[in-house]
Chains A and B, each alone.
Chain A
């Protein structure tokens, strides 16, 4: 029988535990402190860390209950060791280390970003590699070439300023929609016209495309929206949301498909919190059909931060024969996608 893996995620504001057996999802429990952060208009590290400690034990117990297994049944533990907020990461890493030591089981310290892509293994039987990965979240926007998800991932391009999710948050804020911005803009956009305003698509033309072929830039777009709002007293909120969203989504998908074409890879995986965006999912499907690229996007519920993705990456590492991490994992707040499983 495939190994039973429990994954812990605490890199930002979600305290999450997932349990998988091989590629089968058994439990996925998330306790979010986002309500508290709404008052501040963004995630406050110390508030998040306190909340992690408060809910950690309960979330583990709940996940075991959901999966109908006991802690002593778990074959291996997996935990996000970076990137993320250091104080927040340490709550998860310390908890996972204790569980592994107490039960004398292996522990895998894994990369949060790669885990976002690994979660796709829970919803498709396709071999994950090689593929092009579009990783879009509040902290990251990158195009990856995934030769092997647990051993060999190369960054082809990334954002030179704001992350896509950050752009959603900031624009939602200047439009007075609130926090977090992604779902709020997604909902507004459904009521508006994506063609109402022609917002800029940065790094898609002329010299830019040569120099920053697979890179993104969203700060100009943000400025353009802000200028438009200032110059248009009676702006239509839904139209602005739809047109802004279209500009971001258009660039993300165009560049990903360009990476597929150039590398001859015919598989595209889209992952991360922004992959829950409904327009991104819809447009990616249309364009991939035309480009004859196989598209995989995890279910929206598994795109935002969760423990199942961490368990999934741990499980893949085991199946690929990767050695577990040593006792005393160092959390790394700035880990890059090439640091996949901690030594």
Chain B
């Protein structure tokens, strides 16, 4: 005899179900990517009107956008604590996968920033831990992909899985926090002329058409050390990122801050940015400025975290239709 309350907040959908001895007493959802915190208590209140005696809480543990995911987990854990009952965590992608009748397929959900959370299933078994990748990279695998939209992590499936699967106790974040201490094996040092070729190679890979050419890079670098500074980040002797700052009379401009794709979100960009700010401070300027494309939301949280504030937008700056956002950080 068991009555299970199941919760999932790993996608833009908040879902709640109550299942009593395999009979579904309640199963409702609400779609809103930013309202899990408000929606979940309302749905659970409705569910409890149907059946209030709960023996177990089953929680979808992600992967999913952090804030919504955490609302569901915090709620489920506290509910179990208050009732003096147990809770179990299940991978949310598994709850989507059980509904799919294929032998080899991928289940994927929105991870924002143009990325997807995903896992591959072979013979109804998950192949390894969930991952996060660029949507195009998953397409390249050429395996049928099932996204949320057609399928969602169904809380009733969470309950089914909780009876058989290994449950988990920690959230599946996959992604690291935006800020992370710089890994110990990363070395930051001044750029030399010998690094220019590597750096312009990274430029092409990251910025493609709008990358600086080697000549443009050389010209930029020629301002060092009188009116500019360039630093590189090195991993096992290989350059994986660089940043440059140009000093004016009262302000300093960060001209580039670049980390190769495979080494992002490890705190390297943050460390380079911090060093740029320190350099600006040592030159006793009043403020540091930087420019980015409107819509470049990958880097924006980092800039804001480091105290940069948007001061103006320049339309058609990089190219027709591309707006530049100027951000400024005051120094003391």
> Which residues from chain A sit less than 8 Å from chain B, CB to CB?
39-40, 42, 44-47, 49-50, 52-53, 56-57, 60-61, 71, 86-87, 90-99, 101-103, 170, 174, 219, 222-223, 225-226, 230, 327-331
Q: Which residues of chain A are near B181, meaning CB under 8 Å? A: 39-40
Query: When the two chains form the complex, which single residue of B67, B77, B79 contacts A101, counting CB atoms closer than 8 Å?
Result: B79
Question: Are B70 and A101 within 8 A (Cβ)?
Answer: no
Query: When the two chains form the complex, which single residue of A47, A71, A331 contacts B82, counting CB atoms closer than 8 Å?
Result: A71
Given contacts A39-B181, A40-B179, A46-B179, contact A98 B82 (CB under 8 A): yes
Min distance, Cβ A185 to any Cβ of chain B, angstroms: 15
Question: Are B41 and A90 within 8 A (Cβ)?
Answer: no
Question: Are B38 and A60 within 8 A (Cβ)?
Answer: no
Question: Are A99 and B73 within 8 A (Cβ)?
Answer: no
Min distance, Cβ A238 to any Cβ of chain B, angstroms: 20
Count contacts on B: residues with CB < 8 A to the other chain. Answer: 35
Q: For B307, give the chain A residue with the smallest CB separation.
A: A42
What per-residue 1/0 map shows which CB atoms of B39-57 lie under 8 Å from chain A?
1111011001000000000
Min distance, Cβ B7 to any Cβ of chain A, angstroms: 10
Q: How far is the CA of A230 from the CA of B37 in the complex (A)?
A: 48
Chain A CB within 8 A of B74 CB: yes
Question: Are B74 and A95 within 8 A (Cβ)?
Answer: yes
Q: Which residues of chain A are near B41, meaning CB under 8 Å? A: 94, 97-98, 101, 327-329
8 closest residue pairs by CB, A with B:
A102-B82, A46-B177, A98-B78, A97-B41, A98-B79, A95-B78, A94-B74, A328-B38
Within 8 A of A (CB), among B275-319: 284, 305
Chain A CB within 8 A of B332 CB: yes
Q: Which residues of chain A are near B70, meaning CB under 8 Å? A: 49-50, 53, 87, 90-91, 94
Q: How far is the CA of A97 from the CA of B78 in the complex (A)?
A: 9
Question: Are A331 and B83 within 8 A (Cβ)?
Answer: no
Q: For A41, give the chain B residue with the smallest CB separation.
A: B274
Min distance, Cβ B37 to any Cβ of chain A, angstroms: 5
27 A-B residue pairings within 8 Å (CB atoms) = A40-B179, A44-B305, A47-B179, A49-B66, A49-B67, A53-B74, A57-B77, A57-B81, A60-B81, A90-B67, A91-B70, A91-B74, A94-B37, A94-B40, A94-B70, A94-B71, A95-B75, A97-B37, A98-B77, A98-B79, A99-B78, A101-B45, A102-B78, A225-B332, A328-B41, A329-B41, A330-B38
Q: Which residues of chain B are near A40, meaning CB under 8 Å? A: 179, 181
Q: Which residues of chain A are near B173, meaning CB under 8 Å? A: 50
Given contacts A90-B71, A94-B40, contact A71 B66 (CB under 8 A): no
Min distance, Cβ A171 to any Cβ of chain B, angstroms: 8
Chain A CB within 8 A of B178 CB: yes
Min distance, Cβ B84 to any Cβ of chain A, angstroms: 8
Q: Which residues of chain B are near A225, meaning CB under 8 Å? A: 332
Besides A225-B332, A327-B41, 13 new A-B residue pairs in contact (Cβ under 8 A), listed by A number? A46-B66, A46-B177, A49-B66, A52-B74, A53-B171, A57-B77, A57-B81, A71-B81, A90-B36, A94-B41, A98-B76, A223-B332, A329-B37
Question: Are B179 and A44 within 8 A (Cβ)?
Answer: yes
Query: When the two chains form the complex, which single residue of B71, B78, B171 contacts A60, counting CB atoms closer than 8 Å?
Result: B78
> Which residues from chain B sit less than 8 Å from chain A, CB to CB?
36-42, 44-45, 48, 66-67, 70-79, 81-83, 171, 173, 177-179, 181, 284, 305, 330, 332
Question: Are B332 and A174 within 8 A (Cβ)?
Answer: yes
Min distance, Cβ A332 to any Cβ of chain B, angstroms: 11
Interface centre among B67, B75, B78, B79 (most CB of A within 10 A): B78
Q: How far is the CA of A94 from the CA of B67 in the complex (A)?
A: 11
Question: Are B179 and A330 within 8 A (Cβ)?
Answer: no
Question: Are A94 and B75 within 8 A (Cβ)?
Answer: yes
Q: How far is the CA of A174 from the CA of B284 in the complex (A)?
A: 12
Interface centre among A97, A225, A331 (most CB of B within 10 A): A97
Question: Are B71 and A99 within 8 A (Cβ)?
Answer: no
Question: Are A95 and B77 within 8 A (Cβ)?
Answer: yes
Question: Are A327 and B67 within 8 A (Cβ)?
Answer: no
Question: Are A56 and B78 within 8 A (Cβ)?
Answer: yes
Min distance, Cβ B300 to any Cβ of chain A, angstroms: 14
Q: For B267, give the chain A residue with the smallest CB separation.
A: A40
Question: Are B67 and A87 within 8 A (Cβ)?
Answer: yes
Q: How far is the CA of A95 from the CA of B173 in the complex (A)?
A: 19
Question: Are B37 and A93 within 8 A (Cβ)?
Answer: yes
Min distance, Cβ A71 to any Cβ of chain B, angstroms: 5
Question: Are A329 and B78 within 8 A (Cβ)?
Answer: no
Q: For A89, give the chain B residue with the smallest CB separation.
A: B37
